[in-house]
Amino acid sequence: MSRLVLLFLIAAALGAPTAIPAVLRSNPATTVLKLGDVARVSSAPVGCIASMRDHVRVLDCRKIGPHEGTYGAILSGRGVVVVRFENERVAQVVFSARHRSLTTKTCQRAANQ
């Protein structure tokens, strides 16, 4: 799993120099979400909802539609948690990290599952 994280960070670093100028040129509008507000990504089956988790305001993003076998990300001012949905009601944490910390936690399923 650490190789996957490393590859992700390398890909992000390589893609960031070209992506940042495009974002700055596009002059995007900022939308402030209140608790319960939902944001959808145009032309993509992805949505986020502003909600509370453990008394903390978070942005909970996931694929729209059936969740089984898909991933979601819960981002807060503290950090990020990535989950994999086992079914419509149960999700397992597969990665977590706190902002400004080099420490991350990954969870792996048993090899025989």
Q: What is the pLDDT of residues 20-55, one digit of tens each?
A: 555 555 667 888 999 999 999 899 999 999 999 999
* pLDDT for residue 31: 87
* pLDDT for residue 109: 65
Confidence label for 96 from pLDDT (cuts 50, 70 and 90): very high
Give the residue carrying structure tokens 């939902």: 38
* pLDDT for residue 30: 85
Q: Is 98 left (phi over 0), alpha (psi -120 to 50) or beta?
A: beta
Is pTM beyond 0.75 here?
Answer: no
* pLDDT for residue 78: 94
* pLDDT for residue 21: 57
Q: Is 111 left (phi over 0), alpha (psi -120 to 50) or beta?
A: alpha
Q: What share of the chain is helix, strand, coil (3-state, %, to 5)?
A: 20, 40, 40
CA-CA distance, 1 to 107, in Å (whole number)? 8
Confidence label for 7 from pLDDT (cuts 50, 70 and 90): very low
